[in-house]
Structures are given as C-alpha cells and as structure tokens.
Chain A
Amino acid sequence: MGQPGSELIGLTLAEAARRVKAKEVSPVELVEASLERISQVDGRLAAFIRVFEQEARQVAKAAEMMVLAGHDLGPLHGVPVALKDNVAVRGFPTTAGSKVLADWVPQQDATVARRLRQAGAVFVGKLNMHEFAWGGTSDNPHYGTVRNPWNLERFPAGSSGGSGAAVAARSCYGAIGTDTGGSIRLPSAVNGIVGIRPTYGRVSNHGIVPLAWSMDTAGPMARTVEDCALMFEAIAGHDPKDASTARVPVSDYLAALGGGVKGLRIGVVPGYFFHHLQPAVLQAVRQALDTMVTCGGQLVEVEIEHIHGNISAQLTIEAAEPSTYHQRWLRQRPDDYGEDVRTLLEVGELLLATHYLQAQRYRGLLRGEFMKAFERVDVFVCPTLPFTATRIGEMKVVIENGVEEDMLSAIMQFTGVPSLTGLPSLNVPCGFDADGLPIGMQLIGRPFSEATLFRTGAAFQAATDFHLRAPVL
C-alpha cells in the first residue's frame, strides 16, 4: 500500500480489484485517488452531476476493514465506480439529467446498483447525461455541457456522455450507462473506451428511468474488455422485478476472455457497414478487420436485405415511447424540459399508431434476417458511428462530400441495428483520426452471446494498444 494517487488512477479496474484482494492497495487509497482526480478534472468535463465524497469514503473505510479481516465482498471489492444519473441509488437524488426529476430521491437501489454493491463496488458519484437520455450530445441545459477529455471542444456523445468522459478521464474505474439507440456504445466510441449494450433482457432495467421500454438496456463502460466483462458479470441475470429479463444462466465471461478468434466467422455487410463514413473511420475499421483476420478470424460477407429503413424505425419507436412516458409532465411542466428534448417529445405525440406499429413489425423482419445470417456468422463487425467527435453545440455533421446531415439520425446509422433487434453489441476502440480523436468499432452477436463479444474484443485488445492510450488533461 502507499502508491501515489496519480499511479492508482492509471490502473485498470481488473488490476485495481486484484491489488485490493492481494492487500497491495486499500479501497481507501483507490477512492481517494478517484476523488482527487474528479476534483482535478471535472470542473472542465462536467461528467458528474453529484460526487459522493462522504459516503464513498465511509464505504471505502468499511471495505478496507473487511479486506484486512479476510472478508471478500466480491469481484469489485473496494473499486470506485459511478452510475449514470438515471439509475436509482437509494437516498440520493436521481435526476435523469432533468429538472423534472431534480428532487426525486429514490428509496431503493436499481437492481444494477444493488448488484454492484453486492459485488463490493464503491459508488463515487452520479454521472451527467443527455436529459432523460433522449439525445446523443450530453449537452445538458440543467447540469452543464459534458466535454470530451480527448479534446474539450468536442462532444462526448450520449446519452451516457458523463459515463464515457469520466471513465476515459480516469475519474473512476468503470461506470454504468444505459443504451436505447446507442447511448452506451456511442460515448464509448468517441471517448476511446469499451462499453456493452447487452442482449435485451440480460440486465435488469428495474429502478432505471425509462426512455423507450422496448429497447432500453443498461450496461458497463470501462477502459478494457476485461474490465467491462468483470462489471458485466456482476450485474447480468434474471431479475424478478423486471419481467423482461430472461431466465438464461449467466456465463463465466472472464473465463472466456482468452479464447481468441481463431476460426471465428466475422460477418460484414458491405452494402451498409462500409458506406457513408468519414475516411478515417473507414480506414480504422478495415484495419481492425485485418488485425482480426491475422489473429485467425475469417471474414464472411453477408447481405441483410432489409437493413435500410432501420434509422426511421429507430426514430419512430424512440420518439413514440418516450412521449408516452412523459405525457403527463409535458402537459404540466413543459418549460422544465430543455428545448431539444421538449421538441422531440412533442414530435413523438404526433406520430400515428400505424407508424409506431409498422416500426415494431420491422424489428421482427430485421431480427429474422440477422438470426438467419448467424447460421454463417459468429459475430458482425462494423463502425460504431460514422464520424469522430464533433464540436460541442453542433447539431449537423459532415460525413462525406461536404454534405451536412442531422446529428441525431446520422449518429444512429449503425447502433440502431442492435437496438431494434435486441442483439448484444460491444464497442471496442480501434483507432484515432488525424486530430487524435478516438474511433470505435461495434461487434454484434447472437442473443446472449456476450461472452463471444468479450472474447473477440479481448483478442483484439491483446493485439493492439488503442485502449492503453489516455487523454492528457
């Protein structure tokens, strides 16, 4: 024990957990290092809505006593993590990044929070986000604009932008995000970290403020695939409080990490996955595929006939369901919403039932095509998003040919597919553009094949060093 905080914040979550178990580092030291880092950088990042200084220190002290007494609280014993502020933590405000819920103090933990506590994690705070998770910039009018630690003038994406920025900045060892249309994977990609959207039904949504019920998921965001798997194993599994969770046994995700990709059939959809991209993104993902082939993977080209149309389906569902949830508040206190979210909620009220139901029917069509393709493929690979981090405040993005496009629809070009189909997907850092901004690739697997995604991502990280680079703050 006794390492400086600056060294401790550089540890991966897995290494920090290992050192706690070996009594080489104290949970108190880890928490102090995390709190010190937050105080150093978060004035610039606005990644946290609330920091649990007092409680984190108390819990860390208790965790230290337990480990010294020979008690193992679990795989995350004494490790500082943070949660997106739409995840209920008992006794603390859970705002969902909104003014509407500014004073809501839940009396129970969300299942995800409860399971993290049971695994020994120490909560250091609640993370900033796009208001009510309905948007992809994390430019929050109530709690500040979250900034990208790789370049403070760039956005961190969203909606789990605070989670992405905090993990990339080494303010905590891991974080919980939520993902409806890409809200874990997008900020993971532009902040250069790993994040998984689980199979729909793999992780409980109980106690999480909903965005769109039929697509909402929660998952971990961390620096490495191993870290992500470690957190995921703690939170995955059936929950009697969430009827949508499946009674499927939880795999040993850590044991699968070393399996490599030899013989793995890697699917690509050339007509969709490699069009309409910034050149640096295209190049990085192609090089990543080359790396995986070098490691023993086999590329398989697949046609998904009806993949076009997915963004409209995504937007339709993601508009209609939140507008349903927010119907009362939108009438009682419309001025308490930020301008962009208010507009989207109003738009969602004006779509027709037939629009919504055709979009829901499309999901079955798309899922069926992917399930058929999985007879020939073990995992699909594509970019996570077609561009790198844009400047803060920009709602248009240029992807190719100098043409400006709307941010919201452009950002979901690839993340919408797993959201609609319920398939798991993992973002893994795979490069940087000429401005030093991170690029991510998305791995998509069969239902409940998170172990395969982790194994693939771990093999890629064993062959590359993108995940080892850190932003300078």
Chain B
Amino acid sequence: MNPSDADSAAADGGSNLPGTSVPMRHPSNITPEVLRTLADHADLPLATGREKAVAAVLGAWLPDVNALCRKMSAPEHQELAPATTFIHPDIGEGEA
C-alpha cells in the first residue's frame, strides 16, 4: 500500500506538486526478522506467517510518515501542540 501521489509528493514540504512526474518514495525494506523484532517490542504476538503482509503495509507507509515527521520538526512549527480532540471556545451563537 502506498500513499497516493497527491500526498507523498510533498509531505515533507518539498517543492513537488501532485500531477507532475513525481517518483513515489521507495517503500522501506522491512525484513521479516525486523518486523518480528518490532512486534516483540510491542508485545504483539504476531502469528507465524504474518510478517510479510504487515511488513508490506508498514514499509509502504513509513517513508511518508517519516517525511511528515521531518516537516513537523521544522523550527517554524515548534510551537504547535498536538490535537487530540478539538474544543470550540471561540464559537458563539449559531454558525461561526
């Protein structure tokens, strides 16, 4: 599974735009052994034979997830706090 062109193009704030000829990020190569180690660390009793399916998805996602982390680590975003749920203290009567 690979996040679509439209997203992966510039997840890290780069200059690539969707619709242009942007190469997909290469999936991370997660071997079954690495995946098994990760699962052990997560205390996830992964059944035998599941490494390949899980590694394929995780490996496809990680490059863009890491790119987003790099983007969000930029100095200009340092003051941003994580959202968990939104509150609406600034909304008055009826529509905003």
Contact = CB atoms under 8 A, between A and B. Distances in A.
A and B interact physically: yes
A362 B11 CA distance: 11
Contacts, number: 181
Given A357-B82, A361-B82, A409-B4, A309 B68 contact: yes
A244 interface: yes
Contact of A409 (B3, B39, B83): B3
A343 B1 CA distance: 12
Contacts of B12: 309
B19 A276 contact: yes
Nearest to A423: B86
A434 B88 CA distance: 43
A360 B84 CA distance: 7
A402 interface: no
A213 B84 CA distance: 8
Interface string A176-213: 00000000000000000000000111000000000001
Interface in B38-56: 38-39, 42, 44-47, 50, 53-54
Contacts of B94: 249, 251, 448, 451
Interface in B15-43: 17-19, 35, 38-39, 42
Interface in A288-314: 306, 308-313
A316 B60 CA distance: 12
Contacts of A347: 54, 57-58, 61
A406 B2 contact: yes
Interface in A275-296: 275-276
Contact of A346 (B46, B73, B80, B81): B46
A448 B84 CA distance: 19
Contacts of B4: 276, 311, 399, 405-406, 409-410, 413
A349 to B, nearest CB: 5
B88 A346 contact: no
B3 A448 contact: no
Interface in A53-86: none
A125 to B, nearest CB: 32
A359 B68 contact: yes
Interface string A361-377: 11111010000000000
Interface in B54-79: 54, 57-58, 60-61, 64-69, 71-73, 77
Given A363-B83, A365-B80, A367-B83, A312 B44 contact: no
Contacts of A97: none
A345 to B, nearest CB: 10
Contact of A350 (B3, B38, B64, B91): B38
A108 B44 CA distance: 33
Contacts of A362: 68, 71-72
Contacts of B91: 246, 248, 447-448
Q: Interface residue tally of chain B, by bracket?
A: 35 or more
Most buried by A among B39, B67, B69: B69
Interface residues of A, number: 64
A350 B95 contact: no
Contact of B13 (A251, A306, A330, A413): A306
B71 to A, nearest CB: 6
B7 A308 contact: yes
Interface in A79-126: none
A248 B90 CA distance: 10
Contacts of B45: 331
Interface in A430-452: 446-452
B54 A308 contact: no
A183 to B, nearest CB: 18
Most buried by B among A357, A362, A408: A362
Contact of B7 (A331, A354, A403, A409): A409
A355 B6 contact: no
B10 A308 contact: yes
Given A312-B68, A410-B4, A447 B11 contact: no
A413 B6 contact: yes
Given A316-B68, A422-B86, A449 B17 contact: no
B54 A346 contact: yes
Contacts of B72: 358, 361-362, 365
Contacts of A316: 61, 65, 68
Given A351-B58, A365-B77, 8 more contacts: A244-B85, A315-B3, A315-B65, A343-B53, A346-B46, A359-B68, A361-B83, A405-B2
Interface of A: 199-201, 213-214, 244, 246, 248-249, 251, 271-272, 275-276, 306, 308-313, 315-316, 319, 330-331, 334, 339, 343-344, 346-347, 349-351, 354-355, 357-365, 367, 386, 399, 403, 405-406, 408-410, 413, 422, 446-452
29 contacts: A214-B84, A271-B18, A276-B4, A276-B18, A276-B19, A306-B13, A308-B11, A308-B18, A309-B7, A309-B71, A311-B6, A312-B65, A312-B67, A319-B61, A334-B47, A339-B53, A343-B50, A343-B53, A346-B50, A349-B44, A350-B44, A350-B58, A351-B65, A363-B82, A386-B6, A406-B2, A408-B1, A413-B4, A447-B88
The 9 closest A-B pairs by CB, nearest first: A311-B7, A360-B82, A275-B19, A308-B10, A406-B1, A309-B11, A312-B64, A422-B86, A409-B3
